[in-house]
Amino acid sequence: MKKRIAVLASGRGSNFQAVIEAIAAGTIPAMCVALITDNPKAYAIERAENAGVPVIVIDYASFPSKAEYEKALLAAMKKQKAHLFVLAGYMRILGRAVIHAFPEKIVNIHPALLPSFTGLHGQRQAVQYGVKVAGCTVHFVDENLDCGPIILQKCVPVLEDDDEDSLAERILVEEHKCFPEAIRLFCEDRLGIEGRIVRIR
């Protein structure tokens, strides 16, 4: 049976696009039931419209508080009856209520090899730290930022003359492979979580 997945994105949406394309190609056995965005100007909206994916805008700026925003977000997420929520460049930290409502049902992609360089600007942190290998991580979302059980990681070299942008570009190429692959494994029921270890069956 095809899984129902819903995507949360705040911006450019290139990872969202990679997921849409993998679904269209039949690589991921799923249907994308919604794009949910906190940003009415997100380019991801155009990508959703082009792919015929319903768009739900929950404009963060229109809510009096984060709590009110999260209430609306949670209600919208519940309506989707999704098996999986995919954070594809969703630029807010999800609140506890949302995380608790969907245990082991939310995945995120982070542009660094976790547990290094959590939070914003993972690629900049990697360049500034001077690591020789960088990459991306797909992980389940738990209460701690960029900390849940790791599903897949891909690495790339950091080159002598790299800056944040050139490294980000190289990592992004891998993100676009890694994220659809992790989502495919989830949708094929091939991921088992034992504590913080994800077993791929």
| Contact track, ligand GRF, 42-81, x by CB under 6 A | ----------------------------------------
Residue 136 has phi, psi (to 5 degrees) of: -135, 160
Among residue numbers 137 through 196, which ones bind ligand GRF (CB under 6 A)?
172, 175
Instruction: Indicate whether 12 belongs to the interface with ligand GRF (CB under 6 A).
Output: yes
**Which of the stretches 107-115, 144-152, 156-164, 193-201 binds ligand GRF when contact is defined by CB under 6 A?**
107-115
Six-digit token string for 6: 């819903």
Shortest distance in whole angstroms from residue 42 CB to ligand GRF: 8
Instruction: Identify the residue among 22, 53, 89, 125 touching ligand GRF (CB under 6 A).
Output: 89
Shortest distance in whole angstroms from residue 194 CB to ligand GRF: 26
Instruction: Indicate whether 7 belongs to the interface with ligand GRF (CB under 6 A).
Output: no
Which one of the listed residues 110, 121, 139, 176 is annotated catalytic? 110
Let me know: does 19 contact 179? Beta carbons within 8 Å. yes
Q: Which residues have C-beta within 8 Å of that of residue 80, sequence separation ≥ 6?
A: 4, 6, 33, 34, 36
Query: β-strand 133-140 against 150-157: which pairing, if any?
Result: antiparallel
What are the E-state strand segments in 25-183?
A: 30-37, 55-57, 84-87, 106-110, 133-140, 150-157
Instruction: Indicate whether 13 belongs to the interface with ligand GRF (CB under 6 A).
Output: yes
Let me know: does 3 contact 183? Beta carbons within 8 Å. no
Residue located via tokens 């849409």: 20
Instruction: Identify the residue among 110, 117, 125, 167 touching ligand GRF (CB under 6 A).
Output: 110
* Count of residues interacting with ligand GRF (CB under 6 A): 15
Let me know: does 34 contact 53? Beta carbons within 8 Å. yes
Interface residues with ligand GRF (CB under 6 A)?
9, 11-16, 88-89, 109-111, 136, 172, 175
